């Protein structure tokens, strides 16, 4: 973080001061002299309990929801919501800089699209991106606080669980262009319908300037009929090759090491492209990144070529060869849409197909039917062995078994490795896919350790 005066950082928070603030932190272990420590009351840890110690360690101010013993009133920034205060401070800090910035949201493919966009922008200059999945009202401000005078480009991921969150994030980040990947069923439990999810994702428009490109998926069933602000410039992409799209993919083929295709751009003609991933859904994510970059004025051929530099974040759609088996590491998050896409990738790999699939969260009333649907799809997709993990995945296991697939059901990720050791053999292709809270990445690490390389 570039040092900033307290009165500028705290604008709108009923606090002022002359000090030069050096950082904004949420972890008491990261406190340094001159920083601001923001208290969050979590389910397991309450940051207020560490506020006095943070002050003693050199924090200039404490942002808190209530007065804290040992922290003087003149050092306390009292706020109703630490989340809102974090976003407000980040918005104030963002005002110091003017990079070309792309904001990415959507139900599925946000992080992959963010990483493709980073690969493209980084080919043109110093680029900042969201780390991992830090896309909420704590994570996005942390990203903005990493802006520096040398930052030329940035790509910011925006997630949400309730209506209104993306609007706050977008107004803080003020991106130069926006991308909406797809409208799925994640957060159906909170928002009630896919139409409400669509409205929530469209909140990204609130932070875009007049005339900004808004990159949209023409293959989605809801987005093409959405009411868009007339002040923005919609740019449609299509991995399925819809001719009405502004940017589409043609001649898509698996080249053995990834996917090669031709970008057909209504403005810039035909451009060869290659990405180190498989699956038509990742072609769409790459097209979105290319479309955003070129509509911001970046050179098309260079942008298309840079897609090959894509590197996935964490265990996301990463294909690894280990000890004679092929592993699809995709265990950071899961929804019905991303499960379908991952099963499609597995179907295209040689060998016997093994799927380790875990719970999908925040589906509300659709929870049982969605898990049954994925179990049936796994069987139809040629999965020969299914390990279903987590209480919600019992319905998945039952549906797959009813369709003829050999199935095991585990309550915890710790049980998974035992089953894998019994059933996996050289030549198999294994998919690991679940919502992050299931903890399949631990099973994945344990499998690598147990299975000889």
Going by C-beta distance under 8 Å and a sequence separation of 6 or more, which residues neighbour residue 3?
20, 21, 22, 34
Work out the mean pLDDT of the chain and round it to a whole number: 93
Residues 241 and 359 in one domain: no
pLDDT of residue 364: 85
Same domain, 274 and 396: no
CATH number at residue 325: 3.90.190.20
Query: Do both 297 and 443 map to the same domain?
Result: no
Residue 86, in any domain of the structure: no
pLDDT digits (tens, 9 = 90+) for 285-298: 999 999 999 999 99
Residue 89 lies in a domain: no
Together in a domain, 137 and 238: yes
Q: What is the CATH number of the domain that holds 45?
A: 3.40.1390.10
* Spatial distance between the Cα atoms of 415 and 222, rounded to a whole number of angstroms: 39
Q: Judge if 216 and 199 occupy the same domain.
A: yes
When divided into structural domains, the chain yields a total of 3
The confidence score (pLDDT) of residue 314 equals 63
Residue pLDDT, tens place only, 203-228: 999 999 999 999 999 999 999 999 99
Query: Residue ranges of the chain with pLDDT lower than 50?
Result: none
Point out the domain boundary residue: 31, 50, 79: 79
Cα gap 395→374, rounded to integer Å: 9
Q: Note the pLDDT of residue 16.
A: 85
Q: Are residues 44 and 102 in the same domain?
A: no
Based on the domain organization, do 125 and 265 belong to the same domain? yes
Q: Are residues 145 and 256 in the same domain?
A: yes
> Which secondary-structure segment (H or E) carries 420?
helix 416-423
**88 located within any domain:** no
pLDDT, tens digit (0-9, with 9 covering 90-100), for 397-449: 999 999 999 999 998 877 888 889 889 999 999 999 988 788 888 888 889 98
**The domain that contains 201 carries what CATH number?**
3.40.1190.10
Q: Which of 205, 213, 177, 214 is nearest to 103 (CA)?
A: 177
- pTM confidence score: 0.86
- Length of the chain as a residue count: 453
* Residues 108/337, Cβ–Cβ less than 8 Å: yes
Domain extent, residue 421, equals: 318-450
Please check whether residues 123 and 249 belong to one and the same domain.
Answer: yes
Residue that terminates a domain, selected from 49, 79, 109: 79
| Paired tokens of 224 | 């093409």
């Amino acid at each position: 973080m570039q040092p900033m005066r307290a009165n500028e950082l705290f604008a709108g928070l009923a606090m002022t001061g002359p000090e030069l603030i050096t950082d904004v932190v949420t972890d008491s272990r990261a406190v340094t002299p001159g920083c601001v420590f923001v208290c969050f009351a979590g389910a397991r840890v309450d940051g207020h309990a560490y506020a006095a110690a943070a002050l003693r360690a050199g924090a200039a101010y404490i942002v808190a929801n209530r007065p804290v013993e040992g922290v003087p009133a003149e050092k306390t920034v009292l706020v109703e919501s630490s989340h809102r205060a974090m976003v407000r401070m980040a918005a104030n800090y963002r005002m110091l800089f003017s990079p070309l910035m792309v904001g990415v949201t959507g139900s599925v493919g946000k992080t992959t699209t963010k990483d493709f966009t980073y690969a493209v922008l980084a080919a043109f200059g110093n680029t900042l991106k969201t780390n991992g999945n830090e896309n909420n009202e704590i994570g996005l401000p942390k990203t903005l606080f990493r802006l520096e005078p040398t930052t030329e480009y940035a790509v910011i991921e925006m997630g949400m669980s309730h209506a209104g969150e993306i609007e706050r994030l977008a107004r803080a980040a003020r991106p130069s262009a926006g991308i909406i990947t797809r409208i799925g069923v994640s957060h159906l439990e909170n928002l009630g319908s896919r139409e409400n999810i669509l409205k929530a994702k469209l909140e990204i428009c609130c932070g875009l300037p007049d005339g900004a490109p808004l990159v949209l998926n023409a293959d989605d069933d809801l987005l093409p009929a959405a009411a868009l602000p007339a002040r923005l410039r919609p740019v449609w992409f299509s991995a399925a090759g819809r001719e009405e799209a502004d940017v589409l993919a043609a001649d898509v083929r698996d080249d053995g090491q990834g996917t090669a295709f031709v970008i057909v751009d209504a403005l810039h003609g035909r451009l060869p492209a290659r990405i180190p991933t498989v699956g038509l859904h990742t072609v769409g994510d790459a097209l979105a990144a290319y479309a955003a970059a070129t509509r911001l004025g970046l050179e098309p051929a260079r942008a298309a070529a840079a897609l090959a530099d894509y590197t996935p974040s964490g265990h996301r759609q990463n294909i690894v060869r280990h000890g004679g088996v092929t592993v699809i590491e995709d265990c950071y998050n899961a929804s019905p849409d991303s499960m379908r896409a991952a099963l499609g990738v597995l179907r295209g790999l040689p060998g016997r197909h093994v799927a380790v699939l875990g719970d999908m969260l925040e589906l509300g009333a659709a929870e049982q039917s969605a898990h049954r649907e994925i179990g049936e799809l796994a069987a139809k997709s040629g999965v020969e062995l299914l390990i279903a993990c987590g209480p919600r995945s019992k319905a998945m296991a039952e549906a797959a078994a009813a369709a003829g697939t050999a199935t095991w059901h585990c309550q915890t990720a710790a049980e998974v490795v035992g089953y894998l050791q019994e059933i996996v053999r050289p030549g198999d292709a294994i998919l690991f896919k679940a919502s992050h809270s299931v903890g399949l990445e631990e099973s994945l690490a344990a499998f690598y350790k147990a299975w000889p390389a």
